[in-house]
Structures are given as structure tokens and as C-alpha cells.
Amino acid sequence: MTKSTKHSAPAGGPPEKLSWPAGTLLGPVPVVMISCQGHEGPPNIITVAWAGTLCSNPPMLGISVTPARHSHKLISETREFVVNMPSRYEAFATDLCGVISGRDHDKFARTGLTAAPAEHVRAPIIAECPLNIECRVSQALPLGSHTLFIAEIVGIQVSKRLISTENHLSIEKAGLIAFAHGTYFELGKAIGTFGFSVKKDEPRKR
Amino acid sequence: MTKSTKHSAPAGGPPEKLSWPAGTLLGPVPVVMISCQGHEGPPNIITVAWAGTLCSNPPMLGISVTPARHSHKLISETREFVVNMPSRYEAFATDLCGVISGRDHDKFARTGLTAAPAEHVRAPIIAECPLNIECRVSQALPLGSHTLFIAEIVGIQVSKRLISTENHLSIEKAGLIAFAHGTYFELGKAIGTFGFSVKKDEPRKR
């Protein structure tokens, strides 16, 4: 058995498949709270799972929002937003901000989350979230039901408790959550770090 | 304590934050094997974590690939690819396909993964992966270090073992993996399903 196949599934061969119609099944995807601020009125929060990193240099990410959402208007006005990465403690608020509208609710008041100043954009960060990514929109691309906001990352705020004295970020301490096919999941066991398949010494090999 | 705050973190107030420079910290993100096929030569596999759903209707996703990669050329030629969602059993192969190049290696041979026919595109699916998403590129957007391939989802193949007799997909049976800050993770405990925060009867409340 070669090194590259030794982690394969138990015997039985590849699984039999069924054909399904096209749909948005990619997962797990991030599920994040976007805080945004229009020219007027209070800031708002919208939860999105249609989010991803788009480019390493410059660092860019994208979020997709339907034009009917209140936050679509706010982000279109100021072209700025913050991606707040929730921990499992914010899972309830994350779900809630995905199902109620900022037209009818002050979501910071309703969830008890804290709006704190960002460093590079006018939209606030959500203080409770362990990681906050401040973004400036470079392009808004209408794709159909959703507009893809392509944005440059302009700064990050990280909870102190995630950082060791060597300035190393322990992401597993963040308690991040993922979303797949309608269900929120905690992150489980770490399998390895990037490049573990070619390292002589695999600290976490299965 | 209101319903919306009852799942908050233990007392102590929002965490103290440190400022970090801009970077690609969004997570957890998917980590998927992209299979692709040029006009000539064998099919290739490239692993990407810069991937996300972009639109619900029509269903679209995006993957970002650096122009230096062999797969960038193949996808640009045929404008088709398959997103193969690995289980934890394919984690080793997933990592390997992210660190070796298809210019030097036949990655199907090297990993022992099986190329099987797709239904809608010429690129093969990776049979071992529990879920395969067939895609056709509608737009290639150069963003800097990476090109964002925006693609319509044209079909899906699902492992039979994930489907119940009621035609329900049990995503937790797929054993999916996620990627965050350089580490691969298994999915852990399910927290709830979309809308659980406003349901009277929460089956999985924390």
C-alpha cells in the first residue's frame, strides 16, 4: 500500500451514486454575521453562508446577498462591511440574524450583541465574535437571485485569548462553526495541517 | 435573560481584541478537490479552499486558482470542472493534491482515486468523494494572485448511502472536512438547523 492511499476508506470500492438536480450543495461553508452601516440609521447584521475567500494577494473575500435584503441597501450605499466569525456561543444569534429583518428589528438590541468600533471602516464590528474581518467592496456583481460583493480585506481584529506569546493564532480555540445542507456544525477533531501528506513526521496522522 | 441571549458565552463581557494586518482568515472554508480536463492529456486534480457558493438561483459557485497552476490552464481551455467534496477518508489525498503539481504527476494514479464519468461535463468526477458538483464556467475574473472562476452548477452526484428512503440527504453521514487557518478539521456536533432560533420546539438546542 503506498503512502498516498493508506488513508483511504475501508474496502468496498467507490460508493454508488445517484443523480440530483443542480443546487447549492457545496459545503461545509462558513456561516458569518455581516455588520454593515448605511449613510443613515442604525447598523444592521445579516447572516450569510454564501461567503468565501477569493484571492490571497491582495486578500479578498466575497459575500452574496439578495437585493431584497435590508443589508444589501446598506452595503451598496457605503460599500463597506465587517465579516464577524461567530463561535458556537454566537450560533443562536447567528441563526436569528438570518431569519429576521433589520427593517423590523434592531438586531444588536434583539441579540444582545455589542457593536464596537472597527478600525478601517464605518460599520461596527460585533465584539463578541472572536474574529472580525473589515472589508471594502471593490465590485458588486449581480448574478441572479444574489449580488456577489467582492471586497478587499483591509484589517482584522482577533481575540487576545486566541494568541499565544509567540504571536501564534490557535484557531481551534475560536470554537468556530460551519454550515452544511441547512445544519450548523461545530468543528471537530483536527486532522492535520496543510502539507501533512508530504511531511516525514506527521504529528496528527490518522 | 431573553431568548436571544440565552446561548451567550459565560460572563466576562466581549473579548479584548488585537489588530492584525489584512489576510485571508475567513473560515472555516470548504476544502475540495477540483477535477478538470483540458483539450488534451489526462485529467487533473487540484485542491482549493478558496471556494464558495455565490448564488442560489441559478445555483452558482466560485473557485479561485492561481494562473501558475496547471489546472488553471485546463479549466480555461474547456471552462468546465467538477467540485468533489471529500470525506475524512480522502483528507490525505486532498492535502496531497494541494501540494504536488499535475505537470509532474498523474494525480489519479498517485492518490489511487478513481476517475468516473460525469453526466454533464467532460471532466471526470472523483468517485470516492461522497458528493460531486458538476460546473460550467460563466465568467473568469482576474483578481490579483488568483482568478475567480464563477460557474453554474449543472448537476450533482450523491452517494446512495447518504440518502434515506424518503429521499432525504443526511449530510452528517458524509464525513465532510473543513479548513481553517491552515488546519483540516472534521465536522463535529450538529448545533441545529436553519431557523432553530425562532422555532418553538428546538430539537438540538444547546
Question: pLDDT confidence of B9, banded at 50, 70, 90?
Answer: low
User: Could you tell me the pTM of the whole model?
Assistant: 0.93
Candidate from A18, A62, A176 with C-beta closest to B52? A62
Rounded to whole angstroms, the Cα distance separating B35 from B84 reads: 7
Domain ranges of chain A: 28-185
Interface check B11 vs A, CB under 8 A:
no
- Give the pLDDT confidence of B151-187 residue by residue, as tens digits: 999 999 999 999 988 889 999 999 999 999 999 999 9
For B11-62, what is each residue's pLDDT tens digit? 678 889 999 999 999 999 999 999 999 999 999 999 999 999 999 999 999 9
Which of B146, B157, B196 is the closest to A56 by Cβ? B146
3-class SS of residue B77: helix
- Residues in B closer than 8 angstroms to A2, CB to CB, are 112
A109 close to B (CB below 8 A): no
Average pLDDT of B124-143? 98
- Domain B28-187 class, CATH top level: mainly beta
Amino acid making up residue A96: L
Residue numbers in B near A19 (CB within 8 A): 119, 155-158
Residues of A in contact with B90 (CB under 8 A): 7-9
The mean pLDDT value of chain B amounts to 92
CATH superfamily, region A28-185: Electron Transport, Fmn-binding Protein; Chain A (2.30.110.10)
Cross-strand pairs, B36: B44
Residue A92 to chain B, least CA–CA distance (Å) = 6
Lowest mean pLDDT among A80-89, A165-174, B195-204: B195-204
| Residues of chain A found within 8 Å of residue B106, distances taken between Cβ atoms | none
Residue with cell 471529500: B86
Q: How far apart are CA B150 and CA B161, in angstroms?
A: 30
Q: What is the pLDDT of residue A203?
A: 53
- How distant is the Cα of A186 from the closest Cα of chain B, in angstroms? 5
Q: How confident is the model at residue A166 (pLDDT cuts 50, 70, 90)?
A: confident
Buried b (16+ CB within 10 A) or exposed e, A126-153: bbbbbbbbbbbbeeebebebbbbbbbbb
Picking from B79, B78, B32, B80, the residue whose alpha carbon sits closest to that of residue B52 is B32
> Average pLDDT for residues B93-99, to the nearest whole number?
97
Grid cell, residue A148, equals: 456577489
Q: What is the pLDDT of residue A7?
A: 52
CA A81 to the chain's CA centroid: 13
- CA–CA distances in Å: residue A27 to residues A151, A181, B22, B31, B202: 22, 7, 25, 9, 23
Residue B12 has what pLDDT?
A: 74
User: Complex ipTM, two decimals?
Assistant: 0.93
Q: How far apart are CA A92 and CA B192, in angstroms?
A: 9
d(CA A67, CA B57): 13
Predicted local distance difference test score (pLDDT) of residue A165: 82
Q: Quick: pLDDT tens for A182-192.
A: 999 999 999 99
Alpha-carbon gap, residue B71 to B49, rounded angstroms:
14
